[in-house]
Amino acid sequence: MGQEQPNFNMPEKSDSKNEKEIEIELADPKDSKEIYEVKKTSWLATYSAPEYGLTKEDVQQKDFFNKVEKLQGRLERGEAQSWVVKSEEKIVGFCTGVKGEEFNILHAFHILPEFQGRGIGKQLIEKVLEWLGDEKPIIVDVAEQNERAIHIYEKYGFVQNKDSPKPIMETFPNGKQIVNYQMIRPGRLEMLE
């Protein structure tokens, strides 16, 4: 992969006087546990809702930390990149991309509820999409009821992947499930065909 990697090491700071200052920077592998804490909080806010048929207790039963070492290893080996949003030195959001042989993956994208709606997500997703590039297709899994996330991905050219295998089920310890489907953003080479 002889392409020059974009340099995102310079933190970006918000300029709003009414909001806490935020910085966006590349994650360090040691940030992995805190990244999953953000994911858990985000899931509690998003998925413990009647439209998902889940309670707060259902979501809290999920083991969010079983993949911390996997993410840490991917970051250390350069197989993945995560960008984190920090406010007062605490991670409040992140977005992760994973490069693959045939396609790339927008793997995770979560922002704490109190930091949503400020354009932070736009900055994060654009950093990951730039790092992933546009030569290969990019896929993302999204809960079919998560209209907010679907709308965000559609803004960036993702469409429901009609060739995707059956929907992916996110199963909770009590047996309840969220149905995810795959969205895809075609690669530049596919668009030329």
Q: Which long-range contacts (CB under 8 A, 24 or more apart) does 106-109 make?
A: 106/132, 106/138, 106/139, 106/140, 106/153, 107/80, 107/140, 108/35, 108/39, 108/82, 109/140, 109/149
Give pLDDT tens digits for 53-90: 888 988 888 888 888 998 999 999 988 999 999 999 99
Give pLDDT tens digits for 109-154: 999 999 999 999 999 999 999 999 999 999 999 988 888 899 999 9
Rounded to an integer, the average pLDDT of 167-174 is 79
Question: Under DSSP, is residue 109 helix (H, G, I), strand (E, B) or coil?
Answer: strand
* Domain boundaries, given as residue ranges, for the chain: 21-192
pLDDT number for residue 30: 95
Rounded to an integer, the average pLDDT of 17-41 is 87
Provide the token pair at 43: 């899931």
Q: Classify domain 21-192 at the CATH superfamily level.
A: Gcn5-related N-acetyltransferase (GNAT) (3.40.630.30)
What is the C-alpha to C-alpha distance for residues 164 and 22, in angstroms, rounded to an integer? Answer: 37
Provide the token pair at 80: 């993945």
- Residue with token string 């590349």: 26
Strand 177-185 to 159-160 pairing? antiparallel
